[in-house]
Amino acid sequence: MIEKIYKKVLFTLILLFTLTFSFTMPEVNAAPSNEKYVIPGGNSIGLKIDTGVYIAGKYEVKTSNDKVSPWMMSDIEVGDKIIKYNDLNVLTANNLITFLNHETSDKVRLTILRNKRTLQTNIKVVETVTGAKSLGLYLKDKLLGVGTLTFIDPASKLYASLGHGIYDQKVIIGDVDGTLTFSNVESIKKGNAGLPGEKRASLSKKEIGDIAVNNITGVYGKIKNENLVNNQKRVKVASQDEIVLGPAHILTVIDGEKIEKFDIEVVEINKQNSRNIKGIKIKVTDEELLNKTGGIIQGMSGSPIIQNNKLIGAVSHVIVDNPSYGYGIHIEWMLNELLTIKH
């Protein structure tokens, strides 16, 4: 699931992704569920996110004389979004490459977006040994991933998925454009202590909906596929106070597109006053799932956690040293996020 830097997804967080890091979360008051009912997910999904042109890395450029770093004297950081090349708008990585190939100057001005601030910086243009022009920057304009649909709100037809954000080079993208599709699980790489497993899945052309928001708590958007809403079973959303230690189950796909129920146990509950993606510690107890996957694996992010016929959370992490254990996010935080989306 990890591609080369231009056209690949660098997955972070242990489920969809492979890097981990901590966050400081803004405080948000937990909202009561108010007898809210939603449609539980469990579907295997593919995510295609248009991010704009991001700097995913830097490299030395080999010229006919030496190796040089064109960005050395520039204010350029990994994660910066390039929005202009001189006075030309940059919409895709190919845009910028085309502009660069026609460049006659040895220096250009880039307008970049960093932490919601717009900056300008000059950067050298160098010619490689092959005669191509280069800035020494790895560029990327898309993120691709595989995960699990958490729930759909039948009233607004908005969905929530993943239970954590999609990250790349420690960049989390906020308001985004993209497409959510079904995905087909073709095989499973079983997890072992120290080596998380993964779902090996292909993205389908069958669309589920649009992607509008990618943040700390998950990926959100609008459903287009009415079959996912019409005449579907609904479950009550649980508040943190309704979660108890003991048996529960998750809904997820480990073969094709078939949603299955697997037994787990809630072994620890972390009550929270601000959003955090490690609210519920779980243990996989289902022998079939343990035999096939070793426990929680990459691609299970967003799998709904149901206890006593209530949706209590979504799988968000695996514990690498023991993949039979993992964490889930309290469903309240994902529902709260859904309420902020304009539709």
Place of tokens 């939603």: 38
d(Cα 12, Cα 166) in Å, to the nearest integer? 7
8 has a pLDDT exceeding 60: no
Predicted confidence (pLDDT) per residue in 264-310, tens digit: 999 999 999 998 889 999 999 999 999 999 999 999 999 999 999 99
pTM over 0.85: no
d(Cα 224, Cα 319) in Å, to the nearest integer? 35
What 3-state DSSP class applies to 308?
coil
> Buried b vs exposed e over 244-264: b needs ≥16 C-beta within 10 Å?
eeeebbbbbbbeeeebeebeb
d(Cα 13, Cα 140) in Å, to the nearest integer? 19
What 3-state DSSP class applies to 343?
coil
User: Among candidates 34, 264, 324, 297, which has minimal Cα distance to 146?
Assistant: 297
54 has a pLDDT exceeding 80: yes
40 has a pLDDT exceeding 70: yes
CB 60 within 8 A of CB 49: no
- Between 141 and 313, the more confident residue is 313
Q: How, if at all, do strands 246-253 and 304-307 pair?
A: antiparallel
Catalytic site includes residue 164: yes
Q: Which of these is catalytic: 80, 286, 303, 317?
A: 286
Identify the burial level of 315 via C-beta atoms within 10 angstroms of its C-beta, where 0-12 means exposed, 13-18 middle and 19 or more buried: buried
Catalytic site includes residue 74: no
Q: Which of these is catalytic: 44, 80, 161, 164?
A: 164
Torsion sign, CA atoms 90, 94, 95, 100: positive
- Which pLDDT score, from 0 to 100, does residue 327 have? 97
CATH numbers and ranges of domains, the chain: 37-50+147-338 (2.40.10.10), 60-135 (2.30.42.10)
188 has a pLDDT exceeding 80: yes
Q: Which of these is catalytic: 301, 303, 316, 324?
A: 301
What 3-state DSSP class applies to 257?
coil
Torsion sign, CA atoms 272, 157, 17, 8: negative
Helix H or strand E encompassing 288: helix 287-293
